[in-house]
Chains A and B, each alone.
Chain A
Amino acid sequence: NAGVTQTPKFQVLKTGQSMTLQCAQDMNHNSMYWYRQDPGMGLRLIYYSASEGTTDKGEVPNGYNVSRLNKREFSLRLESAAPSQTSVYFCASTRHPGETQYFGPGTRLLVL
């Protein structure tokens, strides 16, 4: 089992460009999450999907959109990247909300 996978590992964007971060899990988990990690800030929730077919905003959703493509995949889209979105992005999944979350390796995004 690969667990939670994320692509790409690293990306450089120019301001105004768009991109999609991909996340997939092979643990048959119901819930999936997108976080961003900035220095000194811990992890902050961007969006989550409690179950297939549902998505909800987290603490910092502005500038992002998500798609729960199926039970395995949960993508995060930046429509018009801004330097403030320079961060490390983590995807996570869990069998049921409130239980242990398992994380992907992260995507480092640099917006110039």
Chain B
Amino acid sequence: AQTVTQSQPEMSVQEAETVTLSCTYDTSENNYYLFWYKQPPSRQMILVIRQEAYKQQNATENRFSVNFQKAAKSFSLKISDSQLGDTAMYFCATPYSGAGSYQLTFGKGTKLSVIP
């Protein structure tokens, strides 16, 4: 089994500021991907960023970047220059192996509010 923990149920940030959302996980796998998904009020699940565990370089997508610490099993998301449209639930997810296939395990989410 695998667990994913997001320790911050809610966070807020001023517009244009930077915020970091934390995520820790537990896995026995060596090669895997980790994901951050965004769920705005529309409810659509949108991929924000993906990190390949075997790569040492942290992934970056425009204003979004991760701090991946493989040994510590930590995978935080940094949002720079926060915008009102970043207001959403954010879910960390990582696959684990079960019954010969891979499933995604999701954290319980962090509700981010961007304040004008």
Contacts and interface: CB of A to CB of B under 8 A. Distances in A.
A93 to B, nearest CB: 12
B114 to A, nearest CB: 21
B43, B91, B99, B108: which has the most chain A beta carbons within 10 Å?
A: B43
A45 B104 contact: yes
B44 A97 contact: no
A30 to B, nearest CB: 10
A88 B43 contact: yes
A31 B33 contact: no
A100 B103 CA distance: 11
Size category of the A interface is 20 to 34
Contacts of A100: 33, 35, 47, 50
Interface residues of B, number: 21
Nearest to B32: A98
A41 interface: yes
Interface string A18-35: 000000000000010100
Contacts of B43: 88, 105-106
A98 B102 contact: yes
Nearest to B29: A98
B106 interface: yes
Contacts of A44: 106
A49 to B, nearest CB: 9
Contacts of A42: 91, 106-109
A105 B43 CA distance: 7
14 contacts: A33-B103, A42-B106, A42-B109, A45-B103, A48-B103, A50-B100, A50-B101, A56-B101, A58-B103, A97-B101, A97-B102, A98-B95, A100-B47, A103-B44
Interface of A: 31, 33, 40-45, 48, 50, 56, 58, 88, 90, 92, 97-103, 105-106
3 closest A-B pairs by beta carbon, nearest first, are: A97-B102, A103-B45, A98-B102
Given A103-B45, A106-B44, 18 more contacts: A33-B104, A41-B108, A42-B106, A42-B107, A42-B108, A42-B109, A43-B45, A43-B104, A43-B106, A44-B106, A48-B101, A92-B104, A98-B95, A98-B102, A100-B35, A100-B47, A101-B35, A106-B43
